Amino acid sequence: LERFVSEVREMFNEKVSEPALMEYKTHFKVVYTDGRTFFSYRAEHFIDNGLWLHGGETIRVGTIDVASGRRLTTADVIPADKRADAIAKVRSAVVAKIGGEDNLMPSAEETLATLPENFYVGKDGLHFIFAEYSVAPYHYAPELYGPVEVVIPGYGMLR
């Protein structure tokens, strides 16, 4: 991490005379399982290298089929004839979470045109997680401070 910070500072012609404030945290947990056929996990990573105004958080999630060991895709849990409806529900949930259409990033329309594969099956539905700045600027959702997560109830029936 220190080498990475030094390289970035050198790229921006900054002197590396004093050590950067660095923080790295990671957390992994199983968030849901049916007890036999699948489990869903969540891996959270936070890094603050002292170069930006705030640290960055990355959340990687997924659902694993126990029998095959394969990570499930949205195609495994949402039938083809329900995909358009699911995309619309995810988009609506994101817009509601960030406080309206005006808070969407310019590139969000492209991001929200498909279902992200960064999702997991939960007891309450499908959880979709969008990276920082992929759908909304950091400052529009101060209670979120990072990735945007939405839950779509009624989905997640494994086929």
Q: What is the pLDDT of residue 58?
A: 77
Torsion sign over Cα 13, 17, 21, 26: positive
Q: Which residues of the chain fall short of a pLDDT of 50?
A: 16, 140-142, 158-159
As beta bridge partners, residue 74 has: none
Q: What is the pLDDT of residue 142?
A: 47
Residue 104 DSSP symbol: S
Q: What is the pLDDT of residue 90?
A: 94
Q: What is the pLDDT of residue 102?
A: 83
Element (H, E) at 30: strand 23-33
d(CA 90, CA 100): 14
pTM to 2 decimal places: 0.75
Q: What is the pLDDT of residue 103?
A: 82
Structure tokens at 141: 């959702």
Contacts of 22 (CB under 8 A, 6+ apart): 1, 2, 5, 48, 49, 50
Q: What is the pLDDT of residue 98?
A: 85
Helices (H), the chain: 2-11, 74-77, 83-98, 108-111
